[in-house]
Structure 1
Amino acid sequence: MPEPSTTAVRQTPSGVIHDIGYQRYEGPRLGRRQVFGALYLHGLRTAFGFGRSAKAKIFPWLVVGIVSLVAVALAAIRSQIGEPVATYAQFADAMSWLVIFFVAVVAPELVSRDLRSGVLPLYFSRPLPRSDYALAKLLALSTSLWLLLGGPQLLMFLGAAFTTKQGMRGVWNELLDLLPGLLYAGLWAVVFASVGLLVASLTGKRAFAAGGVVAVFLMTTPIVGVLSILPSRAANELAGLASPSTLVQGVGIWSLGDLLVEGDPGEMTIGGFGPLYALAAVLLVAGATALLLARYRKVAS
């Protein structure tokens, strides 16, 4: 039986490469840091609806408008009566309920959409570790929340600085009050962002993610209420540990003192457990971040 000709096999074409005119990329190859920065900026723009439809901008900017309007109103009232209606830290506490709904809307936009659309394998096929993806989203959400609370505080500061009757000394004193308020806003931002993003990362359905975020923050409040009316004084002072919102307020009471509780007789009491509140806040943020990283080590694998 004759054997097939190897020469004929070699001469048979197996494929054709067509040059369709694409130019080869000859620019710089950016690394991990630039990828992280691009993802962070994209997340920050997404939080406020930039680069998205007009409908997506309605809620974020509605919240921004509300908190800014409140800040302007407080500054105007202060200019008339000559004394602050609320400190910068108290303003952050008063706006915390809006922060909850802002997180419930923005966090699913940052992570749930990617889970649902199945684009995570494309992200991770590039030089982007899974931990960088999660941390970039967390940093973007934390920054947006800090801007949401810190921006109006800056408006309040400008109003007070231009109406003070003590000259530069009054401006300096006002700045010393503003800085703790900005740090306190940062605490709200980090705690709410870490918890909210973790909850949102558990599902690709934005409605479920938003409901889960609201449930975590609001359904823990009744627990605080029950513990605060127990006959035990220690239970009353430790009640704030049961909810992220009251946990942040407890840290603020311990660290800021009169800047937060002055003139507010209904403020929660923490007794001598201030350091415990601070430790609990650190553990909450660290634990939520660790679980978020663990979540993205398994997703799309």
Structure 2
Amino acid sequence: MSETGVIHDIGYQRYSGPRLGRVAMQRALFVHGLRAAFGLGRSAKAKIFPWLVAGIMLLVAVIVAAARSITGEVFFTYFQYADQMSLLIVFFAAIVAPQLVSRDLRAGVLPLYFSRPLRAADYVIAKFAAMTAATWLLVGVPQFIMFLGAAFTTKTGVGGVFNELWDLLPGWAYSLLWAVMFAGVSLLIASLTGKQAFAAGGIVAVFMVTVPVVGVLASLPSTTANRLSGLASPTFLIGGVGEWLTERESQLDVGVGTFGPVYGIEAACLVAACFLLLLARYRKVASL
């Protein structure tokens, strides 16, 4: 008895459209990551925590802008706003970073990503950029609201608006420094596990546990130890860089003094190290 087979044509066709290349894939990953950071296109549950944090930060900005318009007093500068909201930025990073990378590990989709011309570096760049953009928007949009409140209530006309703008732009640059630092550290931690709860806990632990270390070093009788104490914590490290670049007061009681370049070098090295370790991590995944 002979066996016979039948070939069914179910309509599959080869793709004959344009090949957009790696840049388009990076852009698609970036847009998808930025949307995922705020829960867009996902369930209502995924939107609760990021928008709760964003809502609190927006509310603070509105209150500060309203109070300034009524009293004329500056309660927070644009630099101080980022410093004062540091705890909320930590929680936002703990929420978003696992969404961007831990879910891919848990779902096992990375082999599918890397089966295409997408490289590990493309994946890391897209996720890093998405995390940076989301964190910068979290801080930068409230700062812009504060600017609008100040601009519309200024008593010195157009000159006052431009003066306020020159204060806002360095504040935005400072917020970008926060965003880059938090993106590097939080994504690196989140890339180590596919469990989002563990990743979130690890991110919060790294940022929060280092704060008491700064307090211990700042309480030592040595002025040098006091000035260098901020190097032990990413949040104080950013404040030290801000003080060095703008010659303003930082979160450290004694300031950074002449050690500003040390803060700048460590911040650059920390971001670079996190990025390179992310590259190594995903190159290992891509080779499996």
TM-score range, shorter chain: over 0.9
**Distance in 1 between the 2:43 and 2:270 partners?**
35
- What is residue 72 of structure 2 aligned with on the other side? 82
Q: Secondary structure at the match of 1:251?
A: helix
Q: 2:169 aligns with which of 168, 172, 179?
A: 179
- What is residue 41 of structure 1 aligned with on the other side? 31
- Give the fraction of aligned pairs with identical amino acids, expressed as a percent: 64
Give the TM-score taking structure 1 as reference length.
Answer: 0.92
Q: Secondary structure at the match of 1:272?
A: helix
- What is residue 6 of structure 1 aligned with on the other side? none
**Distance in 2 between the 1:74 and 1:168 partners?**
22
Q: 1:251–1:14: structure 2 CA closer, same or farther, 3 Å change rule? A: farther
Q: 1:17–1:73: structure 2 CA closer, same or farther, 3 Å change rule? A: same
- What is residue 8 of structure 1 aligned with on the other side? none
The code of the aligned residue for 1:193 comes to: A
**Distance in 2 between the 1:47 and 1:130 partners?**
21
Q: Does 1:280 align with 2:239?
A: no
Q: Secondary structure at the match of 2:10?
A: coil
**Distance in 1 between the 2:253 and 2:103 partners?**
39
Shift of 1:135: 1.5
Q: Does 1:147 align with 2:137?
A: yes
1:34-66 CA-to-partner distances (Å, cap 9, x unmatched) read 000000100000000001100100011111110
Shift of 1:254: 1.1
- What is residue 136 of structure 1 aligned with on the other side? 126
Q: Does 1:296 align with 2:286?
A: no
- What is residue 247 of structure 1 aligned with on the other side? 237
Q: 1:14–1:112: structure 2 CA closer, same or farther, 3 Å change rule? A: farther
Shift of 1:111: 0.6
Shift of 1:277: 0.4
Shift of 1:183: 0.2
Q: Does 1:101 align with 2:87?
A: no
1:250-287 CA-to-partner distances (Å, cap 9, x unmatched) read 001111223x55xx8x7451111011101110000000
**Distance in 1 between the 2:254 and 2:274 partners?**
25
Q: 1:137–1:15: structure 2 CA closer, same or farther, 3 Å change rule? A: farther
Alignment of 1:217-236 (within 5 A): 217-236=207-226
CA RMSD between the two structures? 1.5
1:132-184 CA-to-partner distances (Å, cap 9, x unmatched) read 11111111001000000000000000111100011100000000000000000
Shift of 1:84: 1.3
Q: Larger radius of gyration, structure 1 or 2?
A: 1
**Distance in 2 between the 1:135 and 1:76 partners?**
39
Give the TM-score taking structure 2 as reference length.
Answer: 0.96
Q: Secondary structure at the match of 2:257?
A: coil
Gap runs ≥5 in structure 1? 1-11
Name the count of aligned residue pairs. 286
- What is residue 162 of structure 1 aligned with on the other side? 152
Runs (4 or more) in structure 1 with deviation over 6 Å come to: none
Alignment of 1:181-220 (within 5 A): 181-220=171-210
**Distance in 1 between the 2:282 and 2:66 partners?**
47
- What is residue 9 of structure 1 aligned with on the other side? none
Shift of 1:14: 8.4
Gap runs ≥5 in structure 2? none
- What is residue 108 of structure 2 aligned with on the other side? 118
